[in-house]
Amino acid sequence: MTAIEALDAAWMREHPLPDPGGSGKDGRGQVLVVGGEVELAGAAMLAGVAALRAGAGKLQLAVAQDAVAALSVALPEARVLSLPRDGPDSARGHWTRLTEQAGHCDALLVGPGMMDDDSGLAAGLLAASQAIVVDAGALKAVTDAPPRSARILTPNAGEMAGLLGVSREKVEADPLAAGTQAAERFGAVVVAKGATTHVIHPDGRAGRYAGGGPGLGVSGSGDVLAGLIVGLLARGACPFDAAAWGVFLHGEAGARLASRIGRLGYLAREISTEAPSILSSF
């Protein structure tokens, strides 16, 4: 492995994001977020808002049918699709529509608000997009999928343990080693989330971000991080840079909220609101 780089403001200046210039929304990419089951449809909304805050131009969400109307009103910036319920055979229309949309988007995020993949939805979507972020309940599908260099995985310690078939304690004892193993095994950029977050490329490159603070350990925070990353990916950033920038934005937003609101107590929905001003400082 090469030397671990600090993912700080200097690194961001040395690795600028693609300049959208005067392009409209089509020039900044289209994001599709898939995974909002009815009890957790808000997770997809958190991720989708974060993608827009990161500068993506167009957004679609796919959530449980019972949540479509509510999210269409709560997030009028997005087109909201209905998730297939029981697999491709029993929900052929919705399944086909979703895979077609996945194939047409610039970046796909699968997993926020997905508790499992019993229908095989995540597994079916892993090959549907050239640029894909895999999070939460969709991560299990990666174990049976062929490697893809444009894929970004965002596991926490428990999810990493499940991916590698080891104990959570082993992952927490050496998260960089676990992330490196996962990056090599799955041929993907891995964001090993924790108090210190590592971003690891399958070629051995690695970055470390240790800022942010304990307030980021709040329900929905991981959905926001995944949304920031997929938004940057849609804008044209390479997978490693999109992941590194997303981790940095997420952490710096937490630091700003901590100084203004308090170390603890700010909400996940507030994190992505800080992203535009942080981006504008570069």
Binding-site sequence positions: 43, 113, 193-197, 222-223
Dihedral sign, CA of 198, 192, 130, 236? negative
Q: What span, in angstroms and rounded, lies between the C-alpha atoms of 253 and 118?
A: 35
Annotated binding site for AMP: 193-197, 222
For residues 133 and 242, what is the distance between their CA atoms, to the nearest angstrom?
Answer: 10
Q: Cβ of 4: how many Cβ atoms within 10 Å?
A: 14
User: Minimal CA–CA distance to 207: which of 3, 18, 17, 14?
Assistant: 3
Q: Are 161 and 171 spatial neighbours (Cβ–Cβ below 8 Å)? A: yes
Angle ∠(123,29,70) on CA atoms, nearest 5: 70
Closest CA to 112 of 4, 32, 222: 222
Q: Compute the distance between CA of residue 244 and CA of residue 124 in angstroms, rounded to an integer.
A: 27
Which residues make up each annotated binding site for (6S)-NADPHX?
Answer: 43, 113, 223
Q: Vertex 253, ends 249 and 254: CA angle to 5°?
A: 120
Q: 191-224 in b/e burial notation, b at 16+ Cβ within 10 A?
A: bbbbeebbbbbbeebbbbbebbeebbebebbbbb
